[in-house]
Structure 1
Amino acid sequence: MQLRLTNIICCNMFLILLVATCLFGVQASEPNLNNRIIGGDYANIYDAPHTAAILLDKESIGSFWPVCTGIVIGVRTILTAAQCTNGTYGSQWLVRAGTPYHNSGGQLRFASYLVQHPDFNSNYDNDISIIVVQQDFILGAALAIGTLPNEGEIVPGGAIGVLSGFGPIFEESVFGNHMYIVKVPIINQEECVAAYTSYNPVTDNMICAGDLENGGIGPCQEDLGGPLVVNNVIVGITSWSLGCARPKYPGVWTRVSKYRAWIDENLV
C-alpha cells in the first residue's frame, strides 16, 4: 500500500492535492494475485475475522474493484479510512467479509450509506470513515466484530501490533487476492513525529508502527483502512506512510481511541 501525499485513491474523482513525494495511495485496478502486505504471511480468516475487503464501483456501472481494507465493528458497520470514501457515495461500495479472499467466499453486502469524518483533511488527519451496509452480517468464527478501545486509551511504544489487509508485497503494485498478516512494533510518538517532520505532520490523532531501523514490515496501498490490533483491540486504521515499509519511515494509523465517541454515534 504505497502512501502518497496524493489522494490515497489514485483516481481523478478524489480531491486530495497531488504532491511530488509519494505516501502510499490506493488504486482501483485489476488485482495482481502475487501481492500482499510488506513482510507478511498468508492470513487464516480465523486470525483476523474482523477484516474485510472493500470494493468500489468508481464509474457506477456495476463493476466493483478492490481498493481498500475495512474493519467489521457492527453487524452492519464497517470502519475504514476517509481516504477510501472521499468523493464517493454509498451505493458505489461493496463489502466482502468472512473470507481471506477479496474475490470469493464469505458474505457480500452492498453499502447503504457512508459517514465520513467531517474534519478529514489533506494531511490525513481525522482519516476515518464508516460504511453502513444494507443487510446484517451473520456473525461466527470467520466473521466477528472487532473490539474497540476506550476513549483516550493509550498504546505504549514497544507494544506489538498485528496488521491485516489485502495490500501488495512491494511498492508500485496492486491489490492482492489473499489477505496477509504481519506483526509490527508500536513506535514512540516522538520518534514518529521526528521521522516525518519534513514530509507530513504526525498529530495526536495518529499512531505509528514498524521497524524504524530496517523497514521491511508494514502496510502498502490497499491495506488502507485496515486494522492495527494490539492485545485483541483495534487501536489503529491504516492511513499513510512514506513509501511502503521503508527504513526510518514507519506506517501511520488513525488512532481509534480518539474517535470512540464519534464511532458510537454512528454505529449500526
Structure 2
Amino acid sequence: MNLLTRCSLFILIIPYVATLWVSFNAARNYLTRNEKNSRILGRPYEVSLQYIRRNLHFCAGCVLNEKWVVTAAHCVDKLIDTPSKIKVIAGTFDLEIPRSAHYVNKIIVHEDYNANDSWKNDIALLEVIKKFRHVRNIVPIKLPKKNIKIHNGDLAVVSGWSRMLQNSRKLERLEVEMISREECARAYGVFGLSIHESQICADVPDGATGSCNGDSGGPLTLRDELIGLVSWSYGCGNKDFPTVYIRVSKYLGWISANALTIDS
C-alpha cells in the first residue's frame, strides 16, 4: 500500500492499522537529522519497537526502569497474546546498529483504551525479559509530576525514527510548540473527533516536514520530563492539524501500579 494514501480520513474508519501506521498518522514532526548519538541528542531513554521476523521498526517507546517500557497502546494492542513477536532495541540512535536487543515478556494495554473514541487512553507497557543495563546510552526517562503545568507556547521536544523518508534510520528530533486543547479540538471537530483531558497537542514549526510513519509511542519532553507519547494526527505535518499526544501525567498511578518498581 502506498504510504501516502494512509494519510487520509480513511484511516479513521480502520483504526486497527495503527500497528503499521499511527492512527491517521503517528507523529514524526520534522525531526531534524543529526549524526550524533542518542546521548548527545539527549534521548538515551528512547527505544525502537521492532518485529523480530524482519527486524522492522514500527513504533517507539521509552525506558521506565530496568524491566519496563512505555509506549502507545495502538502500537501493540493486537500483540497482547503474542509478545514474542516483537523486540525492543535500546541504546542506539542508528537502527542499522542495534546495540541492545530485549525480547518482550508481557504487554499491558490500558484497560480503557478506545481507538473508536479518538484513541482515548492510548498507552501501554512492555515488560522485557532481559533487564536494561543503566549505561550512558540507556537511561530511564524522567516522569513528570502529577500537577505539572503545561502552557500554550511552551516549547517541547519530540523524537523518533520515521519510516516515511529515505535514510531516516537515525534518531531525529524536533522542537514543537504546545497549543491549547480547545484550539486542537476545533481543528479536529470537522472529523467528529474529540480531544480528551488525557490528551495534549503540539504544532510543528513553519517549514517542518511533519508527523509520519514509525514514531508512534515516542516521547514528547518538556524540561527533560516525559509529558506526552505520540498518539495520532491527520496527514504529514499538516499545519492545520496538530499532533495529538497522550498526557502522561494523567497516567502516573496506572504506570506505577502496573510497572511495579518505577524509578523516581
Q: Could you tell me how far 1:244 is from its partner in structure 2?
A: 1.7
Q: Could you tell me how far 1:174 is from its partner in structure 2?
A: 7.9
Which consecutive unaligned segments of at least 5 residues does structure 2 have?
none
2:146 match: secondary structure: coil
2:140 matched residue in structure 1: 145
**Which range is displaced more, 222-231 or 135-144?**
135-144
Change (3 A) 1:175 1:74: farther
Cα distance in 2 for residues equivalent to 1:215 and 1:24: 19
Amino acid at match of 1:9: T
1:196 corresponds, among 188, 192, 203, to 188
TM score, norm. by length of structure 2: 0.84
Amino acid at match of 2:107: L
Amino acid at match of 2:129: Q
1:8 corresponds, among 9, 15, 18, to 18
Change (3 A) 1:103 1:37: farther
**Which range is displaced more, 250-259 or 36-45?**
36-45
CA deviation profile, 1:3-60 (whole Å, cap 9, x unmatched): 642331249xxxx9xxxxx71059xxxxxxxxx7525232631120011110024xxx
Matches within 5 A, 1:93-108: 93-108=86-101
Matches within 5 A, 1:1-268: 4-5=11-12, 6=15, 7-10=17-20, 23-24=24-25, 38-42=30-34, 44-46=37-39, 47-57=42-52, 62-88=53-79, 89-122=82-115, 123-168=118-163, 176-199=168-191, 200-211=193-204, 214=206, 216=208, 218-268=210-260
Is contact 2:29-2:208 (8 Å) kept? no
Which consecutive unaligned segments of at least 5 residues does structure 1 have?
17-21, 27-35
How many residue pairs get matched? Answer: 242
Change (3 A) 1:175 1:53: farther
Q: Could you tell me how far 1:153 is from its partner in structure 2?
A: 2.6
Is contact 1:184-1:218 (8 Å) kept? no
Aligned-residue sequence identity (percent) comes to 26
Cα distance in 1 for residues equivalent to 2:231 and 2:207: 17
1:246 match: secondary structure: coil
Is contact 1:90-1:111 (8 Å) kept? yes
Change (3 A) 1:145 1:193: same
1:29 matched residue in structure 2: none
Change (3 A) 1:175 1:187: farther
Amino acid at match of 1:97: A
2:107 match: secondary structure: strand
CA deviation profile, 1:228-253 (whole Å, cap 9, x unmatched): 00001000000000012111111111
Q: Could you tell me how far 1:211 is from its partner in structure 2?
A: 3.4
Change (3 A) 1:23 1:49: same
Cα distance in 1 for residues equivalent to 2:49 and 2:119: 19
CA deviation profile, 1:176-216 (whole Å, cap 9, x unmatched): 3111111111112211111111122111111111138x462
Change (3 A) 1:140 1:39: closer
1:252 match: secondary structure: strand
Amino acid at match of 2:19: I
Is contact 1:24-1:220 (8 Å) kept? yes
Cα distance in 2 for residues equivalent to 1:50 and 1:206: 22
TM score, norm. by length of structure 1: 0.82
Cα distance in 2 for residues equivalent to 1:54 and 1:37: 19
Q: Could you tell me how far 1:157 is from its partner in structure 2?
A: 1.3
2:190 match: secondary structure: coil
Is contact 1:163-1:183 (8 Å) kept? yes
